[in-house]
A and B are shown apart, each in its own frame.
Chain A
Amino acid sequence: MHDFEFLRFVNIGQYLPTGSVIHRLDARARLLAGFLLLVAITAAPHWTGLVIALGVLLVGLVVARIPVGYALKGLLPPLPFIVFLAVLQVLFGPRSAAVTPLWAWGPASISTVSLLNGALLVLRFVALILALSWLSFCISTTEIVRALDALLAPLTKIGLPTHAFVLMVQVTLRFLPLLALEAERIAKSQASRGAEWGTGRGGLLRRARQALPLLVPLFLTGLQRAENLALAMQARGYQGGKGRTTMTPLEFRLADAAALALAVMLAIVVICV
C-alpha cells in the first residue's frame, strides 16, 4: 500500500528539531560525540560494550525527545541485509581447529563461536544504525556542514582543500532527499506505464531489469540538477572557500565541553569493558 514511500521509515538523514538539551549543544560537540560513539561501537570487542552502547543510545533518544518507536522502525528496512550478513558470518566465518563444529556441510559449518559472532554482528549493526539515526535526528545538515567546516579548518594550513570537501558533503546531503523523491516520482511514472513497481509481483531478475527505466532518468536528472546547482553557486560568487566568511560563527561553551567529555568517557567504557 505504501510501496512508493521509499523514505517513510528510512530515518537516517531525517532531522527532527525537537529543541531538546542535546539540540541546543554546539554543533561541533554533537558531531564529535556522535562520531566517538560510532567509532566505539565499531571497535567494541565484546557484547557487553555493545549492550552498554545500546543503553546509552536509548537514553540519548529519550533525552533528545525522539519517539523511540519511530527510531526503532528505522531498523526495519536494513534488517534483511543484516540477517543475511549474519547468516553468512555464521556459516562461512573463520573456523578454528580448536572448536568442533556443531554441524558442517562442505565449506559451511556452524559452531558455538560462529553463532556468537553472528549475534555480535547483528548487535553491532543495530547499534550502528541507531547511532546514525540518533545523530541525524539531533543535528541538521547545515549544522553538520558548519561543524565540519570549523573542525577541518586547521587542515587548510597544510594545503588540504577542506572547503571543497565540506561543500561536497553539503550538496550531497541536500540532494539525497531530492533524489529519493525523484526516484519515487520516476518509479510511479514507470508503474503507470505497466512496470511492476508497487504491485508486489515479479521475480528478482525481472525486478533487476526494471531498475534500468528507473536508473537512467534518475542519473540524468541528478546530473542536470548538479549542473544547475553548480551554475547557481557560481552565479552567487562561490569560488571555493577562499575569502569566505560566515554569518553565524560557532560558540563553544562549558556545557559543550562537558557533553564532549561525557561522550569520550562513554566511548572508552564501550570499547574497554
Chain B
Amino acid sequence: MQDNLQAFPTGSIYPLQTSLIEFTNVTYAYPLPNGGRIAALRDVSLRIEAGEYVAIVGANGSGKSTLARHLNALLVPDSGRVTVAGLDTRDQAQHATIHRTVGMVFQRPEDQIVASLVEEDVAFGAENMGLPSAEIRARVDEALATVGMADMRLRPPHQLSAGQQQRVALAGVLAMRPRCIVFDEATAMLDPAGRRAVREMMVNLHRAGLTIIAITHFMEEVLDAQRVVVLERGRVALDGSPEAVFADPDTLRTLGLDLPPAASLARTLRQRFPVLPTGLLTVPALVEALDALPHHAADLPVTQVEPVPVVGTPLIEVRDLGHTYMLGTPLAQRSLEGVRLSIAEGAAHGLLGATGSGKSTLMQHLNGLLRPQEGTVRVGEYALHDLQTDVRAVRRMVGLVFQLPETQIFEQYVGDEIAYGPRLQGLLGDSLRQRVRWAMELVGMGFNAFKDRFTFALSGGEKRKVALASILALRPSVLLLDEPTAGLDPASHRELLAHLCKLKETGMTLVLSSHQMEDVAALTDHVTVLDGGHSILNGRVTEVFAQGERLRALGLSTPVITQVVEGLRERGWVLPPGLVSSTALIEALSRTLSSTD
C-alpha cells in the first residue's frame, strides 16, 4: 500500500475516490485591525490520502500554520473548499466529527495542556466525545502506554520536560483515535532527546496506519516523510518526494529553505570530490558513499595535540557553584551542584545539556540575576559571591539574551525598544542615536529603514534581531545567549548565525546554550556539558563531540560531521581526531581517498 502511495503521491489517478483531506482552490486572508486583510493562502489545491506521511515546509509567513488550521476546521476558507473524510469544513455541524478525525499537536507544549494532572489532560478530548467512563479510562491507558508516559500519569504536567509534555499532548490526541495527526512544529522547542522521541513516534504511528502531517523548520525531519509540500507566500511552490525537492538546493534557497545538514555537508564534499554521487541526504547514505570510494589507510599525520592555551586568569570563573530554587520551602528543587566553568576573554563557549540540566540557571549566575548560594562566581573584576558587588555594573558588562527574547518587546517602535537600555544608562540625544544605530547595524538592520517600524508588525526573525540589538546597545563585553536560534525558519536561522559569528570576530566573549549541535559546532571553541545540575564534561568542542556515545546517553546529539566521522571509523577508516569543520574533514579525506589526486 505504501509503495502505491509513493508512486502516486498526489493520488490524482483515483479521481472518483475522495481523499482523506482535499483542498480545492482555497483562499484565506486574516483580517487586519484597520479593516484590511492580509492574504495567507492563495488558491491552494492539495489532496492528502489516507496513510500518507506529508511534511509541510516554508519560510515564516508562507502560510504553513494557516494551512494546518484548515486541516481540522480550526479555520475555514474564505473561498474554495476543504473536505475532511468527505465532510465540508464549512458545515459547523460536522466539526465534532472533523476534530476527532484529524487531531493536532501544537508547537508550545505548555500552552495546549488543559488539566493539572497528566491523565486528566489525556482524557480531555475523549471526555468531550461523551464516551462512557470505562471507555475513556481504557483509551487513556492505551494512549499513555503508546507514548511511554504511563508512569507519569499522576504527575502535574508542568513538572515534566518539554519533550514529555509534548508526548502528553500527543497522547491526548491519540485517545480520540483520530485517522490523521497534524504536528504543527511540534519539535521546535525540544531538546535533542525530546525531538528524537517525538520523531520516532511520528514514524511509528505512520507505520501503524495513521496519516501524519508534519509542519517543520527542521529539514532533516522532512526526510521521515514520503512527500513534501513547500509553501511560498500562500501558494504551493513544490510538491514531491524529499529526494526530488532536495535535488535542487538553489530553488530551495530562494524559497527560504535549506538542505538537511547531512545533505548540505555532502554537497560541500562533492565540490572537492566530484566522484561522490548526488542525492545523498542522510548521514548513513553519505558514509556509505564515502566508504564505497577507493581509499587507503592513510598514514596519520602526527596529531598535533594542541596544548590547552594558558591565558592567565580567565574572564569568567565559576567554582563549585550550587543553587536551589524555592530554598527553604517544601518545594525546594536542587538546580546546580558543584558546577565549574572557566571562560577565557574573547572565547565562544557552548553550554550543552538536556532540558532541566541547569543551563539557564548557570547563565543567570553569570550576569548577577542570581547570586551564588554556594561556591563562587567571578566575572572580570567582579566577585558575584560578594554581596557588596554592584550587580548593575556586572549586568552592564554581561548582556543576557533570553530564550524567545522577542516575547519581551514592549515598545511600539523598533528604535525606542533598542534605546531603552542605553537611555537607562543616561545616554541622550545624538550619542543615544549613534548607539542605537551601531547596535542595529551589528544585527544587519538599517537604522533609517527600521527605526520607525512598528515592533508588532515585524517578522519572527526581525523581532529576534531587535531583541538582540537591544542587548547589544548596552555595549556588553560578554554576551550570554539562551537558545538564540530556537523556532526560527532556516533563512533567519542562517542569518542570525552569521551575525553571531561576526560578533565573535569583534572580540566579544560569547556564551551560548543550544539544542542545535550544528550551531554549537559552528560558533564555539569550548563546551561545557551539564547533566542534572552537574558540569560533567569540559573541553574543546572537538573533544566533547568526539564522545558521541556518551552525549547520546545524556539525551544530546552530535553535529553531522562528527556522525559521519564516527560512521567512517566504524567501517575501519583511520581519521585524525577532532574533526568538526567541513574544511578539516575535506583535508582529512583528501589524505585518505586514493583517487582524488
Report A224-259 CB contacts with B as 1/0, cut-off 8 Å: 110011011111111100011111110000000000
A229 contacts B114, CB within 8 Å? Answer: yes
Query: In the complex, what distance in Å separates the CA atom of A199 from the CA atom of B111?
Result: 32
Query: In the complex, what distance in Å separates the CA atom of A2 from the CA atom of B399?
Result: 20
User: Is B28 an interface residue when CB atoms closer than 8 A count as contact?
Assistant: no
User: Is A220 an interface residue when CB atoms closer than 8 A count as contact?
Assistant: yes
Chain A residues within 8 Å of B95, by CB = 239
B116 contacts A142, CB within 8 Å? Answer: yes
Query: In the complex, what distance in Å separates the CA atom of A192 from the CA atom of B396?
Result: 8
A189 contacts B123, CB within 8 Å? Answer: no
Known contacts A194-B421, A212-B410, A237-B99; decide if A244 and B127 are in contact (CB<8 Å).
yes
Name the residue on A nearest B157 (C-beta).
Answer: A174
**B56-70 at interface with A (beta carbon < 8 Å):** 69
Query: In the complex, what distance in Å separates the CA atom of A188 from the CA atom of B392?
Result: 12
**B104-142 at interface with A (beta carbon < 8 Å):** 104, 106, 108, 110-117, 119-120, 123-133, 136-137, 140
Query: In the complex, what distance in Å separates the CA atom of A190 from the CA atom of B424?
Result: 11
A174 contacts B116, CB within 8 Å? Answer: yes
Query: In the complex, what distance in Å separates the CA atom of A140 from the CA atom of B118?
Result: 13
A193 contacts B424, CB within 8 Å? Answer: yes
Name the residue on A nearest B107 (C-beta).
Answer: A228
User: Is A170 an interface residue when CB atoms closer than 8 A count as contact?
Assistant: yes
A191 contacts B127, CB within 8 Å? Answer: no
User: Is B447 an interface residue when CB atoms closer than 8 A count as contact?
Assistant: no
B410 contacts A185, CB within 8 Å? Answer: no
Pick from A189, A191, A235: contact of B72, CB below 8 A. A235
B395 contacts A173, CB within 8 Å? Answer: no
Query: In the complex, what distance in Å separates the CA atom of A133 from the CA atom of B395?
Result: 37
Pick from A16, A189, A236: contact of B124, CB below 8 A. A236
A193 contacts B421, CB within 8 Å? Answer: yes
Q: Which of A4-12, A21-29, A117-125 contacts its partner?
A: A4-12
Interface size class of B (residues with CB under 8 A): 35 or more
Pick from A5, A9, A193, A212: contact of B470, CB below 8 A. A193
Query: In the complex, what distance in Å separates the CA atom of A188 from the CA atom of B370?
Result: 10
Chain B residues within 8 Å of A14, by CB = 331
> Nearest Cβ in chain B — how far from A4, in angstroms?
7
Chain B residues within 8 Å of A5, by CB = 325-326
> Nearest Cβ in chain A — how far from B179, in angstroms?
14
Known contacts A235-B74, A235-B103, A236-B125; decide if A142 and B424 are in contact (CB<8 Å).
no
B116 contacts A140, CB within 8 Å? Answer: yes
Chain A residues within 8 Å of B283, by CB = none
Pick from A145, A199, A248: contact of B392, CB below 8 A. A199
User: Is A154 an interface residue when CB atoms closer than 8 A count as contact?
Assistant: no
Q: Which of B245-253, B264-272, B400-408, B555-563 contacts its partner?
A: B400-408
B114 contacts A170, CB within 8 Å? Answer: yes
B392 contacts A232, CB within 8 Å? Answer: no
User: Is A58 an interface residue when CB atoms closer than 8 A count as contact?
Assistant: no
User: Is B391 an interface residue when CB atoms closer than 8 A count as contact?
Assistant: yes
**B457-510 at interface with A (beta carbon < 8 Å):** 470-471, 474
Pick from B103, B110, B169: contact of A178, CB below 8 A. B110
User: Is A216 an interface residue when CB atoms closer than 8 A count as contact?
Assistant: yes
Pick from A8, A70, A177, A232: contact of B112, CB below 8 A. A232
Which positions in A face B, CB cutoff 8 Å? Answer: 1-2, 4-5, 7-9, 11, 14-16, 67, 70, 73, 140-142, 145, 170-171, 173-174, 177-178, 185-186, 188-195, 198-199, 212-213, 216-217, 220-221, 224-225, 228-229, 231-239, 243-249
Given contacts A199-B392, A233-B114, A239-B95, 15 further A-B contacts (CB under 8 A): A4-B369, A5-B325, A141-B116, A174-B113, A174-B116, A178-B110, A186-B408, A192-B400, A193-B420, A193-B470, A228-B112, A232-B114, A234-B99, A245-B131, A247-B137
Q: Which 5 A-B pairs have the closest CB atoms?
A: A232-B112, A216-B410, A236-B125, A228-B111, A194-B424
